[in-house]
Amino acid sequence: MNDDAAPAAAGAVQDPAAPPAAPEDGPGGPDPAFETLKAVLRPRSVAVVGASRDPDSIGYRILYYLIANRFNGPVYPVNPNATVVGSIPAYPSLAQIPGPVDLAVIATPRDAVLPVVDQCGRKGVRGLVIITAGFAETGPEGRRLQDEVVARARSYGMRVIGPNCLGLINTAPDVRLNASFAPVVPPHGNISMSSQSGALGLAILQYAAAMGLGLSTFVSVGNQADVSGSDLIRYWEDDPSTDLILLYLESFGKPRQFARLARRVSRKKPILAVKAGRSPAGHRAAGSHTAALAASDVAVDALFRQAGVIRADTLDEMFDIAALLANQPLPQGPRVGIVTNAGGPGILATDALVGLGLEVPETSPETRQRLAQVMPAAASLGNPIDMIASAGPHHYRAAVAAALDDPAFDAVLVIFVPVELADPQAVNQAVREAVAEARARGNRKPVLCCFLDSRGLAPAAQPAAGSPLGRGIAAGASGERIPSYVFPESAARALARAYEYARWRSRPAGEFPRFDDVDPEQARKVLHAARDRGDRWLGPEDVAAVLQAYRLPLIPGRLARTPDEAAAAAADLGFPVVVKLASRTIVHKTEWEGVALDLETADVVRSACRRIEDRLRAAGRHEELDGFLVQPMVKGGVELLVGMTDDPLFGPLIAFGLGGIHVEILRDVVVRITPLSDRDADEMIRGIRGYRLLTGYRGHPPADIDAIRQVLLRLSQLVEDLPEIAEIDLNPVKAFPPGQGCRILDARIRLD
């Protein structure tokens, strides 16, 4: 890097905008935010406001499911027109309920909700679940009413889930809460989930129950008027009943807050998410359904990668991954051993695993010798370990045990194809016993199963009688649950995502450098002066001043007003030079043939300037010409793009990729949300497909990676310090060999 942009001493600090860690219990007591949600998610008593005698009504179903699920606390139906609902004494209002009420589930008509909120507040209710729809999702009038409901609830110190939601479930044995109208409750487990869709929540609960996938808590957040996904993540961070967090998202309320929180929580517990609205049509549907602006999918992907959130493309994939994360250790490496009784599925598994970035190495010589003593003579002892179709339970037990003990493998995938002589249940038992014995020896490698029959038999028993899902989770001999998949590809995808997460969590969290050689005040003066003039795009001199304030290595240049001035500037700078059209209103210079390269004499410079003038004059836009930017001609190096655009929800997004024509043709660009940590910058550099060009390829020298990192981190600090900037385009940036730095050849800055 040149002297003007030499690395400065930078203080490495944690994310300045990150929320403080939840305080531990101590003299000041427990975290208040945790306690307020605890009263909602673990209530001691529940009132159902709008409880009805009509079996087809939501109020009836909520009351019925509370009782049928055997909630461990009193349940109070509230109905001004009935003295008894479902054989339980009913009360005309909350004021008449004799005992305290922690949670009120509201299933009244919309116009009755606000008076009920007041009743709850006066009663001392601590939390509300508003099932009723017709609020912000319906338009401005509904939003005004929703805002009033939340304001009124907060004035009483109550938290609100919903409105327009399915409700919530807590399966803990000492709670047993089904405060929803969901007829199916999954078994108790270590997974907590939030869903923005109530209707989809019904399907999710049925799906989880059929798989035998245990949930701890399930919350349908609806419109997220108060309690959001971020609130729940913060609660589940310290919830001992939650080891895995699942999210179904259609929109983000405060994505930057979510990103900072998820980055912290993901280091303790996996967060697995499905984000709907990938396509433009999906964006529109999500916006109308949740009354929230859907986010750019590029930004969502960047957010999840930075925060360590595991992204599933579909709900089906989410549950595949969840079955692994909730029940098995994380893989400590990419190497997978495959045990099978059929060659075809073994090959499919190998292709899927390798295609997803995992490895299928050969078995060790010691394992081959061990297997040779018990396997059929025709068995293949490499990887996959193909025991052939005649393999029985004792073969599976020996092969799984050997694969788990083999230091060449970090995980084991067990495939079983039923044949006439095979006893699936006996094979199932053999696999579970082998895993239990390995655990007793301290072996912590994850194990996945794939039983390929018409029912997708799980390696213990069907997950639920008559389950149509064709897969499930089985308890091992020691109580361990082993995920089972119908097809090898599904198991491979789940294992690949788990390994990606394990890699993310094993790496250092990263630091957020703050450079002490920058001058934000000088940059602000330039921006404010330009804004006062009404400039939307900065002129070349202002761009140079802003970049110089942050020590970003813009190549020197001179702004000339006339062709003669341009020729003189070129002579001072030294030939050859580049001449560029300079204008605060004409953004795309190449569309006007406004860039002339490799000019060797003063006369050639004058001619190039006059041609630019003639083209603008012919188009009637000569008055928009501010002059000509003259710069030295720079050759060599790798062309890169570095830029920023301000997303309406996510704030500044930094883009990095190959520059020049590559960015438009190859679209080899990586995006991250600011602020960037040093780790984010490194991952951006390594994340482009053209990274090999930066490390040296076929005679091309490597690029100065340290200098590229400096550009990314300095730009991140610039856009965080200067929110007036809406867009920055540094293209191309030339990266030269190590020690020679970078040069920004062209730059644009747009004000908000």
For residue 419, what pLDDT is reported? 78
CB atoms within 10 A of CB 418: 18
Of 175-179, 198-202, 269-273, 563-567, give the lowest mean pLDDT range.
198-202
CATH 3.40.50.170 fits 327-506, yes or no: no
CA distance 236 to 456: 33
CA dihedral 666, 668, 674, 680 (to 10 degrees): 180
Q: What is the pLDDT of residue 664?
A: 58
> Three-state DSSP class for 177?
strand
DSSP letter at 470?
Answer: -
Tell me if 340 sits within 8 A of 415, measured CB to CB: yes
Confidence at residue 299, expressed as pLDDT on a 0 to 100 scale? 82
Contacts of residue 521, defined as CB under 8 A and 6 or more positions apart, other chains included, come to none
CATH class of 32-312: alpha beta
Q: Which residues pair with 385 in a beta bridge?
A: 339
Q: Is 689 exposed, middle or buried (0-12, 13-18, 19+ CB in 10 A)?
A: middle
Q: Is the pLDDT of residue 445 over 70?
A: yes
Looking at residue 661, its pLDDT comes to: 59
Ranges for all domains in the chain classified under CATH 3.30.1490.20: 520-632
Q: What is the DSSP letter of 554?
A: B
What tokens appear for 21 in the block? Answer: 């860690």
Would you state the pLDDT for residue 418? Answer: 85
Amino acid symbol at 624:
E
Q: Which CATH architecture has domain 520-632?
A: 2-Layer Sandwich (3.30)
How far the first Cα of the chain sits from its last, in Å, is 30
Helix axes 229-237, 255-265, angle to 10 degrees: 20
Residue 363 · residue 372 · CB < 8 Å? no
Please give the pLDDT value at position 90: 95
Gyration radius from the chain CA atoms: 31
Residue that wins the pLDDT comparison between 475 and 567: 567
Question: How confident is the model over 622-679, as pLDDT tens digits?
Answer: 898 999 999 999 988 999 999 998 887 788 889 999 886 556 556 678 899 999 999 9
Read out DSSP for 387-436? --TT--HHHHHHHHHHHHH-TT-SEEEEEE---TT--HHHHHHHHHHHHH
Q: Which residues make up the CATH 3.30.470.20 domain(s) of the chain?
A: 638-751
Is the Cα dihedral 361, 364, 367, 368 positive or negative? positive
Which of 3.30.470.20, 3.40.50.2020, 3.30.70.580, 3.40.50.300 is the CATH number of 638-751? 3.30.470.20
Q: Give SS3 for 136.
A: helix
What is the reported pLDDT for 453?
66
Which pLDDT belongs to residue 252?
A: 76
Dihedral through CA 117, CA 33, CA 268, CA 709, nearest 10? Answer: 100
- Which residues does 438 contact at the CB level (< 8 Å), separation at least 6? 400, 401, 404, 405, 445
Supply φ then ψ for residue 22, to 5 degrees.
-60, 130
The verdict on whether omega for the bond into residue 675 sits within 30 degrees of 0, i.e. cis, is yes
| Residue predicted with more confidence, 635 or 461 | 635
The predicted structure's pLDDT at residue 4: 40
Distance of alpha carbon 200 from alpha carbon 577, whole angstroms:
62
Are 228 and 254 within 8 A, CB to CB? Answer: yes
Q: What is the pLDDT of residue 254?
A: 80
Q: Taking Cα atoms as reference points, which of 613, 635, 634, 633 lies closest to residue 624?
A: 613
pLDDT of residue 24 exceeding 80: no
What is the signed CA dihedral for 450, 454, 460, 466, rounded to 10 degrees?
130
What is the average pLDDT across 111-131?
A: 97
pLDDT for res 656: 93
Burial class (CB in 10 A: 0-12, 13-18, 19+), 728: buried
Report residue 414: phi and psi, to 5°: -105, 120
732 cis-preceded (ω within 30 degrees of 0):
yes
User: What is the percent of the chain where pLDDT is above 90?
Assistant: 71
Q: How far is CA 12 from the centre of its chain?
A: 25
List, by residue range, all CATH 3.40.50.261 domains of the chain.
Answer: 32-312, 327-506
- Model confidence over 561-618: pLDDT tens digits? 999 999 999 999 999 999 999 988 887 787 788 899 999 999 999 999 999 999 999 9
Q: Give the C-alpha separation, 582 to 436, whole Å.
A: 72
Residue 666: what pLDDT? 60
Mean pLDDT over each residue of the chain, to the nearest integer: 87
Residue 651's nearest CA partner among 252, 232, 226, 230 is: 252
**pLDDT class of 421 with cuts at 50, 70, 90:** low
Q: Provide the whole-model pTM.
A: 0.84
Tell me which of 11-25, 69-83, 174-188, 243-257 is least confident: 11-25
The residue among 255, 293, 287 whose CA lies nearest residue 273 is 255
Query: What DSSP assignment string belongs to 307-335?
Result: HTPEEPSSHHHHHHHHHHHTTSPPPSSSB
Lowest mean pLDDT among 100-114, 263-277, 324-338, 458-472: 458-472
Tell me the three-class secondary structure of 478-504, residue by residue. Answer: CCCEEEEECCHHHHHHHHHHHHHHHHH
Look at 19 and 624; give whichever has higher pLDDT.
Answer: 624
pLDDT per residue as tens digits for the range 42-59: 999 999 999 999 999 999
**DSSP result, 498-547:** HHHHHHHHHS----EEEETT--HHHHHHHHHHHHHHT-SB--HHHHHHHH
The count of other CB atoms within 10 Å of the CB of residue 505 is 15
Question: Is residue 26 pLDDT above 70, yes or no?
Answer: no
Say what the pLDDT of residue 697 is. 77
Confidence band for 277, pLDDT divided at 50, 70 and 90 = low
Question: Rounded to a whole number, what is the largest CA-CA distance in the chain?
Answer: 100
Residue 683, pLDDT above cutoff 90 = yes
What average pLDDT does range 465-489 have in this prediction? 64
3-state secondary structure 228-292: CHHHHHHHHHCCCCCCEEEEEECCCCCHHHHHHHHHHHCCCCCEEEEECCCCHHHHHHHHHHHCC
Bridge partners for 747 per DSSP: 730
**pLDDT at residue 207 in the model:** 86
Does residue 566 come out as left (phi exceeding 0), alpha (psi in the -120 to 50 range) or beta?
alpha
The single-letter code of the amino acid at 48 is V
- Residue type (1 letter), 296: S
pLDDT, tens only, 354-411? 999 999 999 999 999 999 999 999 999 999 999 999 899 999 999 999 999 999 999 9
Total residue length of the chain: 752
Side chain identity, residue 319: F
Give bridge partners of residue 415 from the DSSP assignment: 450
Contact criterion met (CB below 8 Å) for 175 and 239? no
